[in-house]
Chain A
């Protein structure tokens, strides 16, 4: 922990639970062109996702969400740090790949192939393929099996791709902005398919889902990762996130005492009033502040705008929000 990141009040939420994903100091550097300076797409990413969670992954464009997911499934190799997925390092082996389902951002499919062809490919390439459930899933959505995938609607295509990723019965499912291009109805259907699959798996399926739509995430997720400026800002249980973030209001005064104890994400000072968005690192001792809950949207926004102090360049991001039982 660096100077700016306040120590957590209690132990991380993960405890002794099995972890679906654990990264430490994970980084990915890209070199564009021969003379161009290399750029970090993801940096010092340290986070844990316990098994069985549905984890939302949010961040501005270019924050490193896609890079993180690609590192987790082994499509890209890390430039720095360590990554463990289901207890093993992502590798180019069938044994690892059969545990992880992945749906890329642009939803790649063979456009001229029929839906059936895609299902047959899934069966041919995955030893743990669940043919019956996959076919039922597609049929219950009224997607014609013999139609070319390229002629399906965006929502149907996303559903086929999701069915393909689920068909191998993965223990970890990584979805990279699958609903970004979908209309609200298709989005709802997609998420309900996902929800049903998670319910069927009875805790044996962990999902990491990146999205800009915080409202969607709030509905289906129980865990949250926030990436900003290629770093992890937050990786924690969703209830803890809601419980530990507050907007504090008072007559105008110095923010110093709060800043020393907690993490101030954003401050708004007017002539008469001080308002700050704060992550509590322990009980709020000063009762003269008006403390209000923040919506998840507001919390995410305040992280995306948050610029950690200058010396933050060297250390890991803010992670592992403490369990805060005593917040009033």
Chain B
């Protein structure tokens, strides 16, 4: 059975690990180079870290694009796991050798999920390390939260499980592909735009207007304008005494003196891993449901 799985999937797995190796070398080299430059930059008063990062814009783009990698696992590995077998009737060939359908299914799922974990964990590790060299970007920012830590591993397992379940039910590659892409994207959008901010109870801090309101390393979930400690509603009138201020810092200073401030809802950087594990847990639970569906469908349904 091990031989069968290896023979069937060696190409995909080989290509994926080759790409991972190439990417690792690229990130390793640029990461070291970048960290060296940034360290040199800190010593010099005329140097700006932003200029250094501009040199690595292409690599940054490549790193951020890895946000799509979990979907690629779903498309290439997940679809070939079930849908392609059924589409080409090779499942009939496998199920009429001296091996039970149950065994065939368990080992196949186990092997491909293990490869998924291995490959995505490798990628997440090198990406996490690379971003760690930059130091001036927020770990909660944009795609970073989704390509670092353990979330990409959970996404990848979810994508493969989704494709496996869809393939077991639909039995056609193209339809499975569609469901995988749509389902994965829908789940990501739901998580990014709604779920993630509801996973953890945010803290609230009162922050002044202007550039000082940033909380270093924290994820700012939302801000509410307060006037003398009361929440504002609708259009906020500018106080008369601040009407004449010319510059933005002056305006902010005047407003702060007049009792204007922000109530900022945020997640401190210390809760980064809590959020990572919670989000991963949701994806893994969904993946477990999908795997169970796949197992039940394959075992109950006629060939």
| A residues with CB within 8 A of B | 70, 73, 75-77, 92-94, 97-98, 100-102, 104, 106, 108-111, 113, 117, 120-122, 124-128, 164-165, 168
Contacts and interface: CB of A to CB of B under 8 A. Distances in A.
Given A77-B302, A113-B7, A117-B7, A125 B99 contact: yes
A108 B88 contact: yes
Contact of A97 (B2, B88, B97): B97
Which of A76, A94, A113 counts the most chain B CB atoms within 10 A? A94
Nearest to B6: A124
A73 B302 CA distance: 11
Contacts of A97: 95-100
Nearest to A174: B96
B102 A101 contact: no
Contacts of A127: 98
A120 B92 contact: no
Given A104-B89, A113-B7, A121 B97 contact: yes
Given A106-B89, A108-B88, A113-B7, A94 B100 contact: yes
B97 A75 contact: no
B97 A122 contact: yes
A125 B2 CA distance: 9
A77 B26 CA distance: 54
Contact of B101 (A70, A92, A98, A124): A92
Given A97-B99, A125-B97, 14 more contacts: A93-B100, A94-B103, A97-B97, A98-B98, A104-B92, A104-B96, A108-B88, A109-B93, A120-B3, A121-B3, A124-B4, A125-B4, A128-B98, A168-B98
A210 to B, nearest CB: 15
B94 interface: yes
Contacts of B3: 120-121, 124
Which of B1, B2, B302 counts the most chain A CB atoms within 10 A? B302
Contacts of A122: 97
Nearest to B300: A77
B98 A125 contact: yes
B95 A75 contact: yes
Contact of B96 (A73, A77, A117, A120): A73
A177 B80 CA distance: 28
Contacts of B8: 110
A102 B100 contact: no
B95 to A, nearest CB: 6
A102 B96 contact: yes
Interface of B: 1-4, 7-8, 88-90, 92-103, 299, 302-303
19 contacts: A70-B302, A75-B95, A77-B302, A93-B100, A94-B98, A94-B103, A104-B89, A104-B93, A108-B92, A110-B8, A110-B90, A111-B88, A120-B3, A121-B3, A121-B97, A124-B4, A125-B94, A125-B98, A168-B98
A65 to B, nearest CB: 16
Contacts of B100: 92-94, 97
A291 to B, nearest CB: 45
Given A108-B92, A109-B93, A76 B102 contact: no
A98 B103 CA distance: 14
A124 B92 CA distance: 16
A124 B90 contact: no
A198 B189 CA distance: 61
Nearest to B5: A124
A108 B92 CA distance: 7
10 closest pairs, A vs B, by CB?
Answer: A125-B97, A75-B303, A98-B98, A108-B89, A76-B302, A102-B96, A124-B3, A126-B98, A92-B100, A94-B98
B143 to A, nearest CB: 36
A109 B8 CA distance: 12
A125 B1 contact: yes
A93 B302 CA distance: 15
B238 to A, nearest CB: 63
A149 B89 CA distance: 15
A125 B107 CA distance: 13
Contacts of B1: 124-125
Contacts of A126: 97-98
A168 B97 contact: yes
A124 B104 CA distance: 12
Contacts of A110: 8, 88, 90, 93
B3 to A, nearest CB: 4
A98 B99 CA distance: 8
A168 B97 CA distance: 8
A122 B93 CA distance: 10
Contacts of B103: 94
A124 B8 CA distance: 13
Contacts of B98: 94, 97-98, 125-128, 168
B88 A75 contact: no
B302 A121 contact: no
Which of B1, B90, B92 counts the most chain A CB atoms within 10 A? B92
A77 B301 CA distance: 9
A73 B100 CA distance: 12
Nearest to A30: B302
